[in-house]
Structure 1
């Protein structure tokens, strides 16, 4: 769902005349609905002040566009059948049109994946870059949302660690994390780990921990200065927890003792937003 991957995606692209893109207007008070001839598989905007939302779990024919004041950008959408649609998007305070019914004739081309052996390695590298780009865009979107999954918070000597939101998208879980430094000393971050803790039953009760390595860390700080609050996102492969397991977020201070272990109950992980 990334802009770069479609540069080489059109048949006979070099022979085509330049395509003049239509403009779609949106604002931050109304949803502009875009209805496509086939279900949406991928869609992304080129700037953070535009947000295009669609059902990522069950493909549907429509998506919703909103915008904040700022420079114009572009919207790129791929349907399930590979048809590609591209538009200029602009902010407009007063909207005269809220619904766009887009015909197949508006498609600028069709996706053509390259599978030849000679460029397989290059395609793999581009795929990794594109995936990272998507994580970056979606994490930024989550940080701009005012959504909470519940009260998951713990404090130690004026340092507050909390999980604001847990979101499922495609095959990943996104943990939106916040650290507040209400003390008079800067907080140097040593590590922040996420692990799964299992309670062993029987006469000799014990705990086993399995650490989960994030696929991507978005805006993870190395220092939280006094009086500052930071928010960032951990992206992990999707997982679920049984009743005897829970997630643990471990915050550790470098050259200090203001450490926090935040327990996240299985119900939060199993019921993400």
Structure 2
């Protein structure tokens, strides 16, 4: 009988870790705890906002820094450039006995990429799931569980509120966590939510030029928002930055209605994502 091994990626490698006891790393808000990995860090995620794991997102490096504020224990998930997954319990401790952790490769709990194994002289491929769409789905779902906000970016009209809760940079993409609230007494039928970059032309005759941008992926976009309900969704865009004469425009349009909104997002928010 053919054997298949699947190394399930990313946010919850459940069946990989189910029979493993995770090591605990202690940190506080007074000192940096350094974690050195055998391969450069591609992604690092903490499960709670009172823990912060910082690493170089622009140029992959071998180490990251962990800090913590008093609170309940959480977890840290790190994925290396080669797809190796490392998972730890993280706890706050006022007095630290260890400030540097050198992580060996054999402490990896698995790999996000499909594994090929040899069985009775044959090479049996695993079903390919490590594609970009799968990654986007998992990371977008994770972002919707977070409460972190980048700032107050909001527009309201006739009981409809459009806001951006967070802008997150990961790999080569920007993730826009968007919130649509229907505080009116009528259902809101969504026609479209467009994303564009607007340029303010300088000179004697000032004008605006808008360029539509297609998302790479959209997660949980609703078709209808009932009265009193709220929908949250994520737009995944290719990474970009803006000069001070450009800004992002989110245009929300109602189907067979006139409750339309345009939300303007300053270049400062785009150039300084979480």
TM-score (norm 1): 0.67
Structure 1, unaligned runs of 5 or more: 6-19, 69-74, 92-97, 115-121
Deviations 1:146-195 (A, max 9, x none): 11111111111000001111111111111111011001110000000010
Deviations 1:191-229 (A, max 9, x none): 000101112223333221101100011111111000001
Per-residue Cα deviation, 1:222-247 (whole angstroms, up to 9, x for no partner): 11000001111100001111121111
Change (3 A) 1:126 1:209: farther
Name the SS for the 1:23 alignment partner: coil
Q: Could you tell me how far 1:43 is from its partner in structure 2?
A: 6.1
Cα-Cα RMSD? 4.4
In the other structure, the counterpart of 1:149 is 150
Unaligned runs of 5+ in 2: 1-5, 10-17, 67-72, 91-96, 117-124
Change (3 A) 1:143 1:36: same
Which of the pair is proportionally richer in helix? 1
After TM superposition, the structure 1 = structure 2 runs for residues 29-48 of structure 1, keeping only pairs within 5 Å, are 35=35, 37-42=37-42
Query: Does the CA-based 8 Å contact 2:248-2:267 persist in structure 1?
Result: yes
Quick one: structure 1 residues 24 and 261, their matched pair in 2 at CA, closer, same or farther if it must change by over 3 Å?
same
Aligned to 2:239: 238
**Residue pair 2:190, 2:254 contacting (<8 A) in 1 also:** yes
Alignment coverage as a number of residue pairs: 234
The answer to whether structure 1 residue 209 and structure 2 residue 207 are counterparts is no
What is the distance in 1 between the residues matched to 2:53 and 2:138? 12
Q: CA deviation at 1:83?
A: 8.1
Distance (Å, rounded) in 1 between the aligned partners of 2:155 and 2:142: 25
Which is worse superposed, 245-254 or 202-211? 202-211
The 5-angstrom pairing of residues 215-226 of structure 1 reads 215-226=216-227
1:262 alignment partner, SS class: strand
2:170 counterpart of 1:172: no
Query: What SS does the corresponding residue of 1:211 show, helix, strand or coil?
Result: strand
For residue 23 of structure 1, what is the aligned residue in structure 2?
Answer: 21
Q: TM-score, normalised to structure 2's length? A: 0.67
Q: Distance in 1 between matches of 2:242 and 2:52?
A: 31
Alignment CA distance shift 1:42-1:23 (3 Å):
farther
Aligned to 1:59: 61
**Cα distance between partner residues in 2 of 1:253 and 1:230:** 15
Q: Tell me, what secondary structure is at the counterpart of 2:234?
A: strand
Q: 1:132: which partner in 2?
A: 133
Relative to structure 1, is the Cα distance of residues 243 and 104 closer, same or farther in structure 2, using a 3 angstrom cutoff? closer
